[in-house]
Every structure is written in C-alpha cells, then in structure tokens.
Amino acid sequence: MPDAFQNDPHEIKVGKVEPRGAPCVEFSPDPSAMVIFGASGDLTRRKLIPALFKLSRTGIIGDDFFVLGVARTEMDSEGFRTAMEEAVKAHGEFETAAWERFAKRLFYISADYGDEGAYAAIASFLEEKEGVFATKGNRIFYVATPPSVYETVTGLLGASGLAGEKAGWTRLVVEKPYGRDTGSARRLDEAVLSSFSEPQVYRIDHYLGKETVQNILMLRFANTIFEPLWNRHFIDHVQITVAETLGVERRAGYYEQAGVLRDMFQNHMMQVLALASMEPPSVYDPELVRDERSKVLLALRRPPLERMDDWLCLGQYVEGEIDGKAVPGYTEEEGVARSSQVPTFAAMRVYIDNWRWQGVPIYLRSGKRLKKRLSEVSVQFRNVPHLMFKDTIGGEIGPNTLILKIQPEERIQLKFHTKYPGSRVCLRDVFMDFSYLEGYRGLTLGAYERVLMDCMLGDKTLFVRKDGVSLSWEFLTPILEYIEKSGKGAPDVNLYRAGSYGPTEADKLMSKDGRRWRNE
C-alpha cells in the first residue's frame, strides 16, 4: 500500500516527496557593502547580524561583502564584533571558524544620525573598504533605527550624495513601521523618494520572507486542483490567524503607540491576505506580483464605521499563564501606562469586493500572549449542497478545510470525510497532511535571511511597494481614527487572560455569522 494511504484513523500522510529533478533556481547575490543604521539596536542583534552570518556561513554571500554598523552608542569595531558574537550565540547558529571569517568584515562608527559630518565619515569609510573587499561599489543602506529618525537618515543620505549610484547599485531598506497612518506614510514616502528613486527602495515585511508564506503562491498557481475551487462558488470563508505567546517584551515604548492593528494588521496580515486572495499574474515577475497584491488591498470593502463593533473585536491581555508559567497583564508590563487601552488582540471580518470573492468573509485574527504560537491560513469550503447520508448517519457533517500552516509548524493539511472502516456506516474526518520540510535536507532560509538575500539580488517580489503600503494604510486609517477617537459604536477593548484564545467577544464575531474559529 502506498504511503499516501496508511490506515491511520486520523491522519493520512502524503507519499514521499521527490525533490530530485524538481524545477528550482539557485541565485548568488552581487558583492556589496551594507551600512546598518541602528546597529546597536535590538533588530540588528536579534535578526540582521544572525541572518547575515548565516548567509555568510553557508556561502550565499562571499568574502566580497562587509557591514558598517552606525549608531549613537559609543563603541569601536572591536566592541561591535564582541557584541554581535554574543548576539549570534543567543539568536543564531554559531560556528567559530565561520564567525572569525565573518567578524573581520564587521565595522562600526558611532555617530549622531542628524550630524552631516557622520555621512561624510561613512562615505570615506566606504570608499576605503570597498577597494579592500572588492564590493564593486554596491551599497545597501539599512534603516533599522527608531522610526522617528527615518526621515533624517534618508534625507542626509540624499544630501551627502550617498543615495546616488556611481560605480555600482545603491539600495535603501526601510523597516516597519512605515508610518502610523495614511498621512505619515505619505510624508515618509516623500522624504524617502526625494533622496532615492522607488526602484532603489526596499520596504521590508518579513512575513513575505517566510517559506510557507511564499509557498501560498506556489500551492495556488503551480497546481490545477486548488485554483478552480478558490472562489466564492466553493469557499465559505477564510480564516487568517497569527497568534503569538510572546507579550510586548521590551518594546512597550513602540507598542504603546502602535497596538496590534498597526503592528500586525497594516503589514503582515494584509500581505498574507493579499497572497491568499490575489489573482495570478501572467509571469512570476516582482512588479506583476506586487500589482496583484495591491489590487486586493484596493478591493477591500470599507467597513461601516458606526457599526465597527460588528466587524472588529479588540482585546488586551491580563495576567495569566503561558506554558505553565505565570505572566503579567499588558498594563503591568514595564513601560506600559497602567490605564492603557492599547489593543494587543484584534479579530476583524473583511470582504474583498471583486468577482472571485464577493460575499466571502475573510476573518483576520492576531494577538499577543495567546494560548499557542500559531500562524495559518485556513480555507473552509462550503458544505455539500445535499447530504444523501443524513438519515444513515443521523446528522450533519463538517465542511472540508484546507489549512496552510505557516509557523511554528510548516504543513499543508486537507480535512475531508471518509467512511469509518467496519460493519457500521459512519463517517470520520481525516487529514491529508504534508510537512513542508519532509523529504528535504538542504539549506533553509529564515525570513530575514531570505529578504536580505533578495535585496542583494535586487529581487523585489517579497518587498512592499509604495502603493502596497499606502493602500493598506488607506484601509486601516479611518478605522484607527474612529477607534482612537472612541466614536459611537467603536469596539471596546475586551480583556482576555494571557494563555487563552483571546476575548470571548471575538467568538461572537464569528458566531453571529454562524461560524467558529479554528482553535486546533
């Protein structure tokens, strides 16, 4: 009997995955220098340097690469190397010999972001080292500073002439948050685009760099069996969940200004939604893919503000338990106002007004300090039009569901019904279950590794274009303004226990529609 049809009561595994001969393309990035503004910060420590080290250790980037860290903290290059070594040991995979090679290519300048002299110093440093490391004049400026200095840094990069392209290419990477509403995102764009041209700008959304998020397009458009069903005729609704067990950590200063809608919905949730619902472009080309993602955001129905509480449920965690450990509530976290009303959870129903999705609700849900870490897209199909087994089995049956698990598990599962073996006629739910890494023993890239590599390659598919950012803000800004002004009908911030699935009011958002969240 083939592996695909094991006699397991709950789980049917797919057969062996055959990677050999599978069509794929390997890339090797251009040599380059990367200047990281905000080099003493959390992002550099936790994500950027561990990711660059992995790219170096695995030979994806060669010795023709170096990093210049820039930040206000007083430190020399040696101090930076020591700090980054500790960071990689804590957040990445360390290997002594590879580290020694990589560390020789790490440098640091301490500078004030608003000091014009600092940019002259950066320019001469680059010119000197570019000869040594043969980086061919290719430069990446990575802005990983607090957002309040984005405009200063990009403006002075322009004024100092560093934004221009001479011997090689020059690219600018900007981290989220990209603005905090439509107006501020537009102003940031004006500032950025007065120094750089749009093709030079790489706006990061690290969710797009996750393997299984990229796989949404492969699953949908490299197979014939799913796409004919991927529409209002067959799909009852879609649920997109990004649940975290982490709390606000040490980012209260930022989070108090952001809340879950700015932190997770404006970017990650919208981009996953766009991939799950977009039309296929004619070719897998960065601009065409980004066109299609933007069209989804453009087609999002504006919810009626005066009835927002029918469309959106907000929550904030109170003390509870995660994995058996007591954790404080949001307002007890360091740096959070005791009376804070900032939501750490949101569930929202959205509709895409186009032919494919008309009338199909898409439920988005994300929160901190939830029961378990889980990101998934779950597509629930319609019920059978008529159940001929009703009298035989004495009841209804559940719908078919296709679940694209993004993290921590990377799987695709299809839930369907089969006959329960034996003499009685009864049905059972089974899962056809594919583990994304099954049968693969090669290199895997984390989200930051992937997007950093793509930036060096000049591939913008996984970055957000100017219109992508602004369309997403245009959808969310009226909602944020309404909530923050506490307009009539604005949703309350409901409390939920840390370690739960979120506020019970979020269940009502679903039950009003006769549906339930998938909490498995």
* Contact string (CB under 6 A) for ligand BG6, positions 175-194, x = contact: -x------------------
DSSP state of 108: E
Query: Whole-number minimum distance, CB 238 to ligand BG6, in Å?
Result: 19
- Binds ligand BG6 (CB under 6 A): choice among 151, 189, 236, 244: 244
Nearer residue to ligand BG6 within complex by CB, 263 or 505: 263
- Binds ligand BG6 (CB under 6 A): choice among 85, 151, 236, 263: 263
Nearer residue to ligand BG6 within complex by CB, 209 or 303: 209
Distance between CA atoms of 317 and 482, rounded to whole angstroms? Answer: 22
376 binds ligand BG6 (CB under 6 A): no
Query: Whole-number minimum distance, CB 252 to ligand BG6, in Å?
Result: 11
List own/partner pairs for 379-382 with CB under 8 A and 24 or more apart: 379/230, 379/235, 379/238, 379/276, 379/403, 379/404, 380/235, 380/236, 380/237, 380/238, 380/239, 380/515, 380/518, 381/229, 381/234, 381/235, 381/236, 382/234, 382/235, 382/236
**Chain centroid to CA 513:** 28
Nearer residue to ligand BG6 within complex by CB, 31 or 367: 367
Nearer residue to ligand BG6 within complex by CB, 119 or 317: 317
Query: Whole-number minimum distance, CB 367 to ligand BG6, in Å?
Result: 11
Given the structure tokens 């980004």, which residue do they identify?
290
Q: Give the closest residue to 141 by CA, choosing from 131, 160, 62.
A: 160
DSSP-assigned letters across all residues of 315-339: EEEESEEETTEEE--GGGSTT--TT
Judge whether 247 and 333 are in contact, CB under 8 Å. yes
Query: Whole-number minimum distance, CB 407 to ligand BG6, in Å?
Result: 6
> What pairs with residue 13 in β-bridges?
433
Nearer residue to ligand BG6 within complex by CB, 203 or 515: 203
268 in active site: yes
Nearer residue to ligand BG6 within complex by CB, 174 or 352: 174
Q: Single out the catalytic residue among 206, 233, 268, 386.
A: 268
- Contact set for ligand BG6, span 142-181 (CB under 6 A): 176
User: H or E element: which one contains 236?
Assistant: strand 235-243
Query: Whole-number minimum distance, CB 79 to ligand BG6, in Å?
Result: 27
Tokens of 78: 């040696």
Number of residues that bind ligand BG6 (CB under 6 A): 4
Query: Whole-number minimum distance, CB 445 to ligand BG6, in Å?
Result: 13
Give backbone dihedrals phi and psi of 434, rounded to 5 degrees, phi first: -115, 125
What are the residues binding ligand BG6 (CB under 6 A)?
176, 244, 246, 263
Catalytic positions, written as ranges: 268
